[in-house]
Amino acid sequence: MKFQSVKGTRDFYPEMMRVRNWIADAWRRVSLRNGFEEYDAPIFEYLDLFTAKSGPEIAEQLFSFTDRGGRNLAIRPEITPSLARMVAAKVNSLPRPIKWFSVPRLCRAERPQRGRLREFFQWNVDVIGEPSVLADAECIFVLVDFLREVGLTPDDVQVRIGSRPLAVAAITAAGIGETGIDSALAVLDKRPKVDDGQFEKLCEGAGLSSQQIECICEFQDVEDLAELKKIPSLEKAADGIDDLVQLFEYVEAMGAGDYCRIDLRVVRGLAYYTGIVYEVFGEGESLRAVAGGGRYDRLLEVVGGPKVPATGFGMGDVVLEILLEEKGRLPAELRSRALDFFVIDGEDGIFETVLRVSGALRRAGFEADFSYKRQGVGKQLKTANRLGAAKVAIVRADGVSVKDLSSGKQVERTLEAFLADPRGL
């Protein structure tokens, strides 16, 4: 019998693992330098945690199962509900603001396509316990800090920022009652992702009249915050406009403004968002968003905790990697493996010294390797090249020839001098 990997999953052979680690290392480095601490949660939870307030889209994409004890469980499709559960359980003993990040492996039973898989990694950055828009601005700054770190410029990617309260005000002003708001938001979330014809069909399905759609779309197409203030139906949502103005001032002050632009078409697909929302898109790309997030001030209550404000985002590795590859921003070094030293037998009967040198280099923290076979120097040099060794140490009874494989420079050293300072050429 021959087995294949499951549709929508990836096998990480070492060359793919190098890219995955490079991305995850950058996620961690940027999180830490912005003052965030790492956490993690179980990969499966009670099913109800995910159906409580994530919305129908996520619920339909769950890998759920019943365990032997009859418990209804699901593999995590996102980590935000687990984060809310964890914080709610200890909320009184955690000093605020809580600035946490995580890099969970997630599963969603989506139809696999370019940029969309059934298993992926997602960087999560969240600030919990801070109601001010400063926390939203800080999360956006972290996001931009990462984009810059991996060489993506404002020409490559943009953070498009919208507002749930403003979208809800526009929907209400269009005459849609309380009960229709969630489904109207779900339809609006699709607007930038489908063509006009498809959008019309979705609106019809949600019972929206063409007049209502027109009214909402007119609001969504405003690109200037000052213009928003003039729209009479948004009077009641003045706080939402002020929040956006303040947010742009903060991100500008932190030096992230060049990546950010207002886009009121962004409302987000998940049901728990309550405030400023944003998505990151590659320029001219029809792929799904690289990242998305926003404020979710009621999720802790939904999972049985007190009312605690929260905001944050998630960035997936799949779309990010496609974008980095397209823009040529994945470092060339990732294409081959790397090694500090390859230790070579320079003559017969020297293998014990080769082992001694290799062991000493490894104990000193160098990445060092040697051949399992006793072969001629030429063959071993070939292996060293294949393994991406920076240098080779050719060991003989009377000393070591150390050769830099990229410059070709070679020096002769005694064994003792080499081991005392392997770096010196």
Site of interaction with ligand HAM (CB under 6 A) = 78, 80, 108, 110, 116-117, 120, 122, 124, 126, 270, 288-293, 296, 312-316, 318-319
Got the DSSP string for 40-82? ---SEEEHHHHHTTS-HHHHHT--EEE-TT--EEEE-S-SHHH
- Least separation in angstroms between residue 317's CB and ligand HAM is 7
Got the DSSP string for 264-298? TT---SSTT--SEEEEEEETT--SPPSEEEEE-TT
Task: Report d(CA 281, CA 160) in Å as an integer.
Answer: 8
Instruction: Pick the closer one to ligand HAM by CB: 240 or 314.
Output: 314
CB 395 within 8 Å of CB 343 = yes
Instruction: Pick the closer one to ligand HAM by CB: 182 or 404.
Output: 182
- Least separation in angstroms between residue 387's CB and ligand HAM is 33
Residue showing the smallest CB distance to ligand HAM in the complex: 316
Structure tokens at 211: 């007049």
- Least separation in angstroms between residue 270's CB and ligand HAM is 6
State the CB neighbour count (10 A cutoff) for residue 117.
20
- Least separation in angstroms between residue 51's CB and ligand HAM is 14
Instruction: Pick the closer one to ligand HAM by CB: 176 or 247.
Output: 247
- Least separation in angstroms between residue 110's CB and ligand HAM is 4
Q: Which residues contact 148 (CB under 8 A, 6 or more apart)?
A: none
| Distance separating the N- and C-terminal Cα atoms of the chain | 54
Instruction: Pick the closer one to ligand HAM by CB: 121 or 370.
Output: 121
Instruction: Pick the closer one to ligand HAM by CB: 76 or 403.
Output: 76
Instruction: Pick the closer one to ligand HAM by CB: 98 or 319.
Output: 319
The helix (H) or strand (E) run that includes residue 242 is helix 238-253
Instruction: Pick the closer one to ligand HAM by CB: 18 or 268.
Output: 268
Instruction: Pick the closer one to ligand HAM by CB: 164 or 391.
Output: 164
Of 43, 74, 79, 80, nearest in space to 60 by CA:
74
- Least separation in angstroms between residue 8's CB and ligand HAM is 8
- Least separation in angstroms between residue 179's CB and ligand HAM is 24
- Least separation in angstroms between residue 195's CB and ligand HAM is 21
Q: Which amino acid is at 255?
A: G
- Least separation in angstroms between residue 119's CB and ligand HAM is 8
Count helices and strands (H / E) in the chain. 16, 17
Q: Which residues contact 91 (CB under 8 A, 6 or more apart)?
A: 300, 305, 306, 308
Instruction: Pick the closer one to ligand HAM by CB: 313 or 370.
Output: 313
- Least separation in angstroms between residue 344's CB and ligand HAM is 44
The helix (H) or strand (E) run that includes residue 294 is strand 291-295
CB 271 within 8 Å of CB 55 = yes
* Bridge-based pairing state of the strands 119-128 and 310-316: antiparallel
Instruction: Pick the closer one to ligand HAM by CB: 273 or 342.
Output: 273
In this structure, the chain runs to a length of: 425
Task: Report d(CA 124, CA 97) in Å as an integer.
Answer: 16
Residue with token string 């969240």: 126
CB 348 within 8 Å of CB 25 = no
